[in-house]
Copies of this chain bind each other. A is one copy, B any other.
Amino acid sequence: MQQTLLDALTGDSEAAAFFADAADIAAILRFETALAEAEAEAGLIPAAAEAAIADACRGFAPDWEALAGGMVRDGVVVPELLRQLRARIGPPHAAHLHFGATSQDAIDTSLVLRLAEAIKLLDTRLVSLIRAFDTLRDAAGSTPLMGRTRMQRALPITAADKLANWSAPLSRHRASLAALRRKLLVIQLGGPVGTRAELGDKADQVAKRLAAILDLGLADPWHTQRDPLVEFGSLMALISGSLGKFGADIALMAQNEVAEITLAGGGGSSAMPHKSNPVNAEILVTLARHSAGLVATLNQALVHENERSGSAWTLEWLTLPRLVVTASASLRLATSLANQIGFGPPTNPKR
B151, A277: Cβ atoms under 8 Å? yes
Q: Which residues of B contact A227 (CB under 8 A)?
A: 169, 172-173, 238, 241-242
Given A1-B321, A192-B155, A317-B6: A242 touches B292 (CB 8 Å cut-off) = no
The interface centre, meaning the residue of A228, A244, A305, A312 with most chain B CB atoms within 10 A of its CB, is A305
Secondary structure at chain A's binding surface: helix, strand, loop or mixed? helix
Q: Would you call A338 an interface residue if the criterion is a C-beta within 8 Å of the partner chain's C-beta atoms?
A: no
A251, B311: Cβ atoms under 8 Å? yes
Q: Cα distance A286–B303 when bound, in Å?
A: 10
Question: Which of B64, B255, B300, B302 has a CB less than 8 Å from the CB of A152?
Answer: B255
Question: Which of B71, B153, B194, B291 has a CB less than 8 Å from the CB of A147?
Answer: B194
Closest to A102 in B: B271
Question: Which of B154, B257, B307 has a CB less than 8 Å from the CB of A307?
Answer: B154
Cβ of A139 to closest chain B Cβ, rounded Å = 20
A150, B282: Cβ atoms under 8 Å? yes
Binding stretch for chain B, among A110-118, A122-130, A206-214, A262-270: A262-270
Closest to A336 in B: B72
Q: Cα distance A57–B278 when bound, in Å?
A: 30
Interface residues of A in 232-286 (CB under 8 A from B): 234-235, 237-238, 241-242, 244-245, 247-249, 251-252, 254-258, 265, 267-272, 275-279, 281-283, 285-286
Cβ of A180 to closest chain B Cβ, rounded Å = 10
A151, B254: Cβ atoms under 8 Å? yes
New A-B contacts (10) at CB < 8 Å, excluding given A286-B312, A286-B314: A2-B16, A9-B314, A157-B195, A227-B241, A231-B234, A282-B310, A286-B315, A289-B315, A293-B297, A295-B296
Q: Which residues of A contact B (CB under 8 A)?
A: 1-11, 16, 19-21, 24, 64, 67-69, 71-79, 82, 98, 101-103, 106, 147-157, 161, 164-165, 168-169, 172-173, 176, 179, 183, 191-195, 197, 220, 222-225, 227-228, 230-231, 234-235, 237-238, 241-242, 244-245, 247-249, 251-252, 254-258, 265, 267-272, 275-279, 281-283, 285-286, 288-297, 299-312, 314-315, 317-319, 321-322, 325, 350-351
